[in-house]
Amino acid sequence: MTLGGEDALQVQQERCRRFDLRVADFCLRRTAPCRRIFVMKAVALLHPDTPERAVRPFQEICPELRVIAGLYAAEDVSAALIFGGDGTIHRYLPELHRYKIPGLVVPCGSGNDFAKALGIRNVKIAFAAWKHFCRSGDNIRAVDLGVIRTRDKEILFCCVAGGGLDAKSNALANRMPAWLRARGGYVLAALRSLATGQPQEIRVATPEMHLTGPGWLAAVANAGSYGGGLKIAPQASLDDGMLDVCRVAKMNKIKLLCAFPMLFSGTHVRLKEVEYFKAAAVRLESNPALEIYADGEPVGHTPAEFSILPKAIHVIAPV
């Protein structure tokens, strides 16, 4: 049957309309994930030594990404990129926890142990994770945080907290130039602290056990390592809902010095002087009081209580 001119025109218009709808639907489905990410408000937080040019490759993926000084009134922020090390991340943990902002760690610090625990060993891996997030948004992981309660405050930490020889080493390393800290400075600081330090009375208590006596250090861990790769808690996991506790009891300095390389592999836990276990809550006491460091930053003194906050923050993880 042959259609008249007017009927043929109507049929052609209907075909065009249907084609346009299919094309529009296809484009919508193809671009929806990217459009959802690109129109969001994404922010970058930089360590003072990190230049803003480090953000540019990430801005090419998400043009709405902008550098800011801090996460204030961040309810409308959909993603936060943190360029720095463990200390930089530590600074923003309260806001990441409060607002549940997905955070991407871009390892640019002297100690990047939290990033490594997430599988982000370098900036290239962080960039790939960001690129995937901007395309699909499905590489978000919930991880635990540790909580420290002292006499007058409460502090969140992501990696390792503790007191004793490691805290003294941390204090010394923090006074070193950043380039030296990133190139074995923590190890040098630990060796120097060992030369001048002495064991102290350290008591570690949980509802199930009490450990007391002279010791070199007590570490409470959410992640496995600190100090740029020292595996103080080799069995730690970021999402098991538990803290890993490592107490190093008194041993002579020669043995401790010989045992120090074992920290790089985590085999120090085999030593009879090392007490290692998991717990949901821990209390740390000492005589005299010990300064406590967490994520490489000073946070208070003993006595202190430690607990775990399960699934406390969301992070953008490698695929």
Residue 244: give its domain's CATH number: 2.60.200.40
pLDDT in the model for residue 110 = 83
Query: 21 in a domain, yes or no?
Result: no
Report yes or no on 12 lying in a domain: no
Mean pLDDT by 10 residues, the chain (319 residues): 48 45 36 43 91 95 90 78 96 93 94 96 97 94 97 94 91 82 81 89 94 96 94 97 97 94 96 97 95 95 97 97
Q: What is the pLDDT of residue 152?
A: 83
Q: Alpha-carbon distance 232 to 268, whole Å?
A: 8
Residue 292 is assigned to a structural domain of this protein: yes
| Domain assignment of residue 228, yes or no | yes
The beta strand positions in 8-139, using DSSP E, are 42-46, 66-67, 79-84, 103-107
What local confidence, expressed as pLDDT, does residue 75 receive?
A: 64
- Rounded distance, CA 186 to CA 228, Å? 7
Instruction: Give CA torsion, residues 108, 111, 115, 120, to 10 deg.
Output: 60
| Range of the structural domain that residue 160 is part of | 154-309
Amino acid present at 147: V
Q: What is the pLDDT of residue 46?
A: 94
Question: What confidence score (pLDDT) does residue 103 get?
Answer: 96
Please indicate, yes or no, if residue 96 is contained in any of the structural domains.
no
Please give the model's pTM, rounded to 2 decimal places: 0.84
Asked if residue 236 is part of any domain, the answer here is: yes
Whole-number pLDDT of residue 211: 94
Q: Nearest CA to 191 among 230, 157, 136?
A: 230
Query: What per-residue confidence (pLDDT) applies to 73?
Result: 60
Q: What is the pLDDT of residue 27?
A: 35
Q: Is residue 97 a contact partner of residue 156, using CB atoms and an 8 Å limit?
A: yes
Query: How many domains does the structure of the chain reveal?
Result: 1
**pLDDT at position 91:** 95
Position 14 scores a pLDDT of 52
> Is 275 part of any domain?
yes
Closest CA to 231 of 266, 183, 261, 259: 266
Q: Has residue 92 been placed in a domain?
A: no
- What pLDDT sits at residue 248? 97
pLDDT of the residue at 280: 96
The CA distance from 128 to 58, in Å, is 10
Position 30 scores a pLDDT of 35
